[in-house]
Structure 1
Amino acid sequence: MEVQIAQIKNEAAAAIIDLVLPIQQIEFQVAITLSDQPDLLDIDNVYYKSGGAFWGATVNKKLVGTIAMIKFDDKSVALRKMFVNKTYRGKELSIAQRLLENLMTHCKNNGIEHLYLGTVPVLQAALRFYERNGFQKMEKSDLPSQFPLMGGDSVFYQLALK
């Protein structure tokens, strides 16, 4: 099974929504809808316009994972939309790891020094994944003032890329 990772834009919105919403709503029972996430319908403006990006991992042309970043100052980005279809999770394909490493390489190549993210406590495997990758837990009050908060997020992390 060959995994391909590439930047994706608005034309992939339907596939992104089909991947993300069931993971949020069905698998993890997070009370979030598409209308709570208008960014999914306007990827080009929300992610790329400020200097961010959105990547998709595909297997046999099927979108199985995503990761995105919103650049909110010269040296900092907010990590967003990190999702991998349950069937494709785990060490065998390492899709989550490859997506994160791809994003981190892009950041280093573009002078970005700090990654921040917000998430929810129910995503325990995700929290362990971020911690394994060197992310440090932080208080919401310590986030940069420009950090684009998402309504439901209550657990926050940062990673220095130096």
Structure 2
Amino acid sequence: MSSLVIRPFVPADEQGVIDVILPIQREEFGLAITAADQPDLRAIPAFYQTGSGEFLVAEHQGRIVGTIAMKDIGSGQGALRKMFVAAEFRGSKFGVARALLDRLLECARSVGLQEVFLGTTDRFLAAHRFYEKHGFHLIDAAELPESFPRMAVDTRFYALKPGSA
């Protein structure tokens, strides 16, 4: 999609990010969650864009259609978080998810991150396929670093060495 732009989050993007993430969490995942339950969404620069962290948005014709974040968890490691793509922009036709992940891993390599971890749930089969297709391998929860910000809903975990992706 030629009009797709992947770029770092700026504070003016805050409402657009929330407008992408919340409907997916609530309507698709069935989570009873609000923006207030996720204080990181109101503090993206301080929470994600520090150290080796980053928060990227996918923008199409001025509208934010996807997000992805890397939380610096120390020791050359990062936690992939907040990967969401608006339903109408999913799939290989648009390539939003791939573009977001590729750019984030490029950022991770450029700042020297050695490992990236992520958590998801057992029921998100499309996400499992996506991450595996892009080089992530399934790990046991016991293999996560202590600093990994584990979410209560996460039951399946992946790891990747960005230099090998």
Report what 2:78 is aligned to: 77
Matches within 5 A, 1:110-121: 110-121=111-122
Normalised to the residue count of structure 2, the TM-score between the two structures is 0.92
CA–CA separation in structure 2 for the residues paired with 1:11 and 1:151: 30
Instruction: Could you tell me which runs of 5 or more consecutive residues in structure 1 were left unpaired when the two chains were aligned.
Output: none
Identical counterparts, % of pairs: 39
Distance 2:156 2:32 in 1: 16
1:57 maps to what in 2? 58
Task: For 1:50 and 1:150, locate their aligned partners in 2 and report how far apart those are by CA, in whole Å.
Answer: 21
- State yes or no: 1:28 paired with 2:29: yes
Match for 1:76: what amino acid?
Q
Q: Does the aligned pair in 2 maintain the 1:71–1:77 contact within 8 Å?
A: yes
Could you tell me which residue of structure 2 aligns to residue 41 of structure 1? 42
Deviation at 1:154, TM superposition (A): 1.4
Given the two structures, how large is their TM-score scaled by the length of structure 1? 0.94
Write out the 4+ residue segments of structure 1 that deviate beyond 2 Å after TM superposition.
Answer: 30-36
- Provide Cα deviations, 1:56-75, integer angstroms capped at 9, x if missing partner: 00110100000000011141
Q: Which amino acid aligns with 1:157?
A: Y
The superposition leaves residues 48-101 of structure 1 with CA deviations (integer Å, 9 ceiling, x where unpaired) of 123311000011010000000001114110000101001011111111001000
Change (3 A) 1:56 1:120: same
Q: CA RMSD in A?
A: 1.3
**Distance in 2 (alpha carbons) for counterparts of 1:55 and 1:93:** 17
- Alpha-carbon displacement from aligned partner over 1:19-65 (angstroms, at most 9, x marks no partner): 00101110221343323311111101110123311000011010000
1:122 Cα shift? 2.5
Unaligned runs of 5+ in 2: none
State how many pairs are aligned: 162
Secondary structure at 1:48 match in 2: coil
State the secondary structure of the residue aligned to 2:72.
strand
Q: How does 1:13-162 map to 2 (within 5 A)?
A: 13-162=14-163
Structure 1 pair 50–36 and aligned structure 2 pair: CA distance change class (3 A) = farther
> How far apart, CA to CA, are the structure 1 residues paired with 2:110 and 2:29?
34
User: Matches of 1:24 and 1:105 in 2, distance apart?
Assistant: 27
**SS in structure 2 at match of 1:101:** helix
| TM-fit CA distance, 1:114 | 0.6
Supply the distance in 1 between the matched residues of 2:109 and 2:70 (Cα, whole angstroms): 13
| Amino acid across the alignment from 1:88 | F
Preserved contact between residue 136 and residue 160 of structure 2 (Cα < 8 Å):
yes
2:52–2:113: 8 Å Cα contact kept in structure 1? no
